[in-house]
Amino acid sequence: MGRIRWLGHSAFEIQLMNKTVLIDPWLDGNPKAPLRASDITKADIVCVTHDHSDHLGDALDICKRTGATFVGVHELSVYAQEKGVEETVGINIGGTVDVKGTGISMVRAFHSCTRGAPAGFVLKGEGKTIYHAGDTGLFGDMRLIGEIHRPDVALIPIGGYYTMGDREAARAVKLVNPSVVIPMHYQTFPVLASSAKSFTRIVRETLPEVKVVVLEPGEAYQL
């Protein structure tokens, strides 16, 4: 049985195909994180959407300690290698790979970064598909992500300022058309939305067929 656990901000621990996948594991210095990076003793795959410090976070340290495979855009993967990560997979927008039995596709995100390009990830395993949008604004081709990958669960930023806000995020949910949406990238900083109440209300009013799951940091959703 798969599981998605929110670690605050955009960080998630996903259990899929008997593997532990971390996405954007920023834990040390994250005021919403329920644990520290040193508490992570097992990880098989670490996916990083882009190189901003609140997303790259503790990924390199975790990979070096646990032997996890680092997955990111090519230029970021090269950087991880230079920093001593032994196993890296550097793909690019549109690419799909199998990493330890888990299907991973890299999709577009509209944001900024220093190395390569910002991205989102689509994970597939156990008959389930999970879309992590990364840091992004709203863009029309989210509809193609939904049509091609058909995600069961979408992890969507809602905080505004650096990413989509509640209205844009709700429109993104309509384009992606998941069965379940879990909001992320809010509460962490004063400039971000302080709660998911407005987003939840808009989605429930306009897309009643989509289940909104609001997690507290450390809580998990069973797939």
Three-state DSSP state, 74: helix
List the domain boundaries for the chain.
Answer: 3-215
Classify strands 88-91 and 180-184 as parallel, antiparallel or unpaired: unpaired
pLDDT over 80 at 1, yes or no: no
**Per-residue pLDDT tens for 16-67?**
989 999 999 999 999 999 999 999 999 999 999 999 999 999 999 999 999 9
* CA gap 116, 103 in Å, rounded: 21
Q: What pLDDT shows up at residue 85?
A: 98
Q: How confident is the model at residue 210 (pLDDT cuts 50, 70, 90)?
A: very high
* CA gap 163, 10 in Å, rounded: 11
Q: Give the distance, in angstroms, between the CA of residue 10 and the centroid of all CA atoms in the same chain.
A: 6
Q: What is the mean pLDDT of residues 145-167?
A: 98
**Per-residue pLDDT tens for 81-135?**
999 999 999 999 999 999 999 999 999 999 999 999 999 999 999 999 999 999 9
Q: What pLDDT shows up at residue 62?
A: 98
Amino acid at residue number 16: L
Retrieve residue 191's tokens.
Answer: 């400039």
Q: Does domain 3-215 have CATH number 3.60.15.10?
A: yes
Q: What pLDDT shows up at residue 34?
A: 97
